Amino acid sequence: MFKKILIANRGEIACRVIKTARRMGIKTVAVYSEADKDARHVELADEAVLIGPAPSRESYLVQDRIIEACRQTGAEAVHPGYGFLSENAEFSRRVEEAGIVFIGPKHASIGAMGDKIASKALAAKAGVSTIPGWNDAIETPERAVEIAKDIGYPVMIKASAGGGGKGLRVAWNDKEAFEGFSSCRNEARNSFGDDRVFIEKFVEEPRHIEIQVLGDAHGNCVYLWERECSIQRRHQKVIEEAPSPFLDDKVRKAMGEQAVALAKAVDYQSAGTVEFVVGKDKSFFFLEMNTRLQVEHPVTECITGLDLVEQMIRVAAGEKLAFKQKDIKREGWAIECRINAEDPFRNFLPSTGRLVKYRPPAQNMEASQPVPPGGGVRVDTGVYEGGEIPMHYDSMIAKLIVHGRDRNEAIARMREALNGFVIRGISSNVPFQAALLAHPRFTAGDFNTGFIAEQYPKGFSTTSVAHDQPSFLLALAAVSHRRSRERAATLTGQRRHREVRIREDLVVVLTDAAGLRDHIPISVRPQGSMFEVSIAGLTHEVAFEDNLRDIAVHGTFDGQPFCAQIERSGLGYRISHNGASLFARVFSPRHAELEALMPFKAPPDLSKVLLSPMPGLLVDVAVQVGQTVRAGEKLAAIEAMKMENILFATQDCVVSEVLAGKGDSLAVDQVIMRFQ
């Protein structure tokens, strides 16, 4: 067994590998860029080596510096994590030639499966079901349109070296095929250094289900069941679960056996994942093989009890698998939510900056440790409160994983965990995840990869989610106000006859985007350790367990436990629960009358300017001063967190001024151009 390994990665996955290595008694070496000098993985590792400036192409993607870091520290093996160089066959080969063990498959296996065009031919030869398409590299957008027509729309345009949703577009017509091909090539060239693109038929109403495989150097290979990864946004996974609520045991077995057949065909020696697209009739087709550890591997760990990082290390050290296919258990249900630094209320644009507050929910599970009886909550992360989320890397803050005895228990546990996950200073997709977990179609298991686009066609907003019990949110606002007044009444030094007065009769004021106010009478009366709240003729009992200063609060509502987020903002309270959010101001009846006379301040008109929706690098300005632009035409492109975001005109206009140039670093809401 190795005495020291180097982790050629950063963030959450680097911290995850360190935990297993530490349990196995293996020392660890972290590598870091200048932007990550204070990162959590650097602190956790036994040693750390600086490998370059912030951009990944100058640090985490520089093979020579990582190999040199191994020589400097005496690391005997390299774990690549996921992303960066994890599926780079050349890196694997160079590591092996340097006398260092690559904790992953052999470079020949990576090469065979990393090329999506060659892998499809290999899969077909191995007897794996494959999807119709054009599997040769396509040279021009015109040729891409011709091929797409022949296959029949819709088609999927994919970069051969792509992954993680990058270098991938779905086209429904000639225009989208033409533009999607160009975007895929550019994105693939920038992210992977390989701009080959191919096209395949897009299966409508598809499910994305993947099989985890594990092979050793002694000819043994097993599958560790499946993961359901159909909840996706822009082809990036949002929620993963194991097992799938859709498959039956017959299909599950057939998919597992095909995945093993493919792995054996390339002499696969490590953990890997074979991805399938599954139709509504349970027919399935091979998509690709990921020759690395997957982001969503924790859900497989939860239901099998196996530590996949440990298995990768043991296989790389030459050990045989200690179990056969019949020994692999499948217990309970696990769900993972990816918590990303993005603003769901601004079309999920990246959000960077300082984590002013980072309070994950209470945990009783941990990576590399056994799952406790009855399951629980686990958080895999590489961040900490007060740390920075840099713009140079991917947007993941943490992975929230739960395990329950069945799917309903896992969903209930995840909903409570999301309600209690506090992130401030940057935006996160926690509200969106909470809304998804509360959606009736998700709870019924009735979804496919188009679920998010279908359910949120105009994007996600506070009005996208209706709480199933609106009086619950109103009651929390009113009781929070009552508790705040009670605390204020205890302050010393109050002037006589000017003391804080506590009233039972209150008015909750809700104001919509147009300034229309809704006044809701409500009364709050203390009853021992709880409050009796009357709204619209109904009475509810509310009790809190937490202090006023806490954002995530626990308590009971009509005897049922809850976890919600309550935050004071000016004269009001922001209440968030199960993805629904409410901003309420609470007044006395007289104050409410006076407040109704106050003018409404409308938000500024931003139709004449183009603002940068995120911090990032301006990589393209597609228009000039004086140019007439039609709605839907490209204005500019911004690169942030390894993704290219194109800004389009929302209406016909004429460009009057361009205030930023290609190569400029932009701040959020910085003006890029003005229109007449």
| Encoded tokens for 464 | 């996208």
Give the pLDDT score at 642.
65
Nearest CA-CA partner of 40 in 419, 423, 396, 422: 396
| Encoded tokens for 639 | 């690169």
Between CA 595 and CA 588 the distance in angstroms is 10
Query: How many CA within 13 A on the CB side of residue 345?
Result: 12
Is-contact 435 415, C-beta < 8 A? no
- DSSP β-bridge partners for residue 515: none
Q: How confident is the model at residue 213 (pLDDT cuts 50, 70, 90)?
A: very high
Q: How confident is the model at residue 513 (pLDDT cuts 50, 70, 90)?
A: confident
The predicted-structure confidence for 253-282, as pLDDT tens digits, reads as follows: 999 999 999 999 999 999 999 999 998 889
Between CA 68 and CA 56 the distance in angstroms is 17
Quote the distance between the C-alpha of residue 111 and its chain's center. 28
Q: Of the residues 288, 336, 342, 416, which is catalytic? A: 288
Whether 545 sits among the annotated catalytic residues: the reply is no
Is-contact 470 478, C-beta < 8 A? no
Q: How confident is the model at residue 559 (pLDDT cuts 50, 70, 90)?
A: very high
Is-contact 441 451, C-beta < 8 A? yes
Give the pLDDT score at 115.
80
Give the pLDDT score at 187.
86
What are the DSSP E strand ranges found in 392-516?
396-404, 422-424, 505-511
Q: Any alpha helices (H) in 197-338, and if so which ranges?
A: 249-265, 297-304, 308-316
Between CA 176 and CA 154 the distance in angstroms is 10
Nearest CA-CA partner of 431 in 298, 611, 332, 574: 574
Neighbours of 355 (CB within 10 A): 19
Q: Do the strands 47-52 and 665-666 form a parallel or antiparallel pair, or are they unpaired?
A: unpaired
DSSP 161: E
The amino acid that residue 274 corresponds to is V
Quote the distance between the C-alpha of residue 3 and its chain's center. 34
Quote the distance between the C-alpha of residue 24 and its chain's center. 29
Is-contact 130 258, C-beta < 8 A? no
Q: Which residues of 428-462 are buried (b: 16+ CB within 10 A; e: fewer)?
A: bbbbbbbbbbbbeebbeeebbbebbeeebeeebeb
The amino acid that residue 377 corresponds to is V
101-105 mean pLDDT: 98
Give the pLDDT score at 605.
79
Nearest CA-CA partner of 3 in 51, 64, 73: 73
Is-contact 656 617, C-beta < 8 A? no
- Using a 10 angstrom Cβ sphere, with 0-12 exposed, 13-18 middle and 19 or more buried, the burial of residue 498 is exposed
- Asked if pLDDT for residue 191 goes beyond 80, the answer is no
Between CA 462 and CA 482 the distance in angstroms is 25
Helix/strand/coil for 572: strand
Which domains are assigned to the chain? 4-103 (3.40.50.20), 132-201 (3.30.1490.20), 207-455 (3.30.470.20), 470-595 (3.30.700.30), 609-675 (2.40.50.100)
The predicted-structure confidence for 566-601, as pLDDT tens digits, reads as follows: 999 888 999 999 999 999 999 999 999 999 999 988
Q: Any alpha helices (H) in 564-656, and if so which ranges?
A: 589-595
The amino acid that residue 397 corresponds to is I
371-388 mean pLDDT: 95
Give the pLDDT score at 189.
84
497-522 mean pLDDT: 91
Q: Output the average pLDDT for the chain.
A: 93
Nearest-5° Cα angle at 616, 612 to 618: 75
Nearest CA-CA partner of 127 in 249, 265, 252, 2: 265
Neighbours of 221 (CB within 10 A): 21
| Encoded tokens for 427 | 């935006």
Between CA 191 and CA 163 the distance in angstroms is 10
Length, in residues, of the chain: 676
- Using a 10 angstrom Cβ sphere, with 0-12 exposed, 13-18 middle and 19 or more buried, the burial of residue 75 is buried
The predicted-structure confidence for 231-254, as pLDDT tens digits, reads as follows: 999 889 999 999 999 999 999 999
The predicted-structure confidence for 21-31, as pLDDT tens digits, reads as follows: 999 999 999 99
**SS3 per residue for 79-126:** ECCCCCCCCCHHHHHHHHHCCCEECCCCHHHHHHHHCHHHHHHHHHHC
Name the CA radius of gyration of the chain, rounded.
Answer: 27
Nearest CA-CA partner of 378 in 401, 409, 361, 358: 401
442-449 mean pLDDT: 96
Give the pLDDT score at 259.
98
- Asked if pLDDT for residue 152 goes beyond 90, the answer is no
Give the pLDDT score at 136.
81
Give the pLDDT score at 441.
96
Helix then strand then coil, in percent of the chain rounded to 5, is 30, 35, 40
- DSSP β-bridge partners for residue 337: 239, 400
- Asked if pLDDT for residue 421 goes beyond 70, the answer is yes
* CA–CA distances in Å: residue 568 to residues 244, 473, 513, 565: 40, 14, 20, 10
Among 299-303, 333-337, 453-457, where is mean pLDDT lowest?
453-457
616-637 mean pLDDT: 90
Strands lying side by side in the sheet with 616-621? 643-648, 634-640, 616-621, 665-666
- Asked if pLDDT for residue 37 goes beyond 90, the answer is yes
Give the pLDDT score at 7.
98
Between CA 566 and CA 477 the distance in angstroms is 8
The predicted-structure confidence for 71-102, as pLDDT tens digits, reads as follows: 999 999 999 999 999 999 999 999 999 999 99
- Asked if pLDDT for residue 164 goes beyond 70, the answer is no
- Asked if pLDDT for residue 482 goes beyond 80, the answer is yes
Helix 116-125 crosses helix 107-114 at what angle (to 10 degrees)? Answer: 100
433-446 mean pLDDT: 95
Give the pLDDT score at 639.
86
Backbone angles phi, psi at 612, to 5 degrees: -70, 120
Between CA 404 and CA 414 the distance in angstroms is 9
DSSP 159: E
Give the pLDDT score at 132.
78
| Encoded tokens for 142 | 């015109």
- Using a 10 angstrom Cβ sphere, with 0-12 exposed, 13-18 middle and 19 or more buried, the burial of residue 319 is middle
- Asked if pLDDT for residue 225 goes beyond 70, the answer is yes
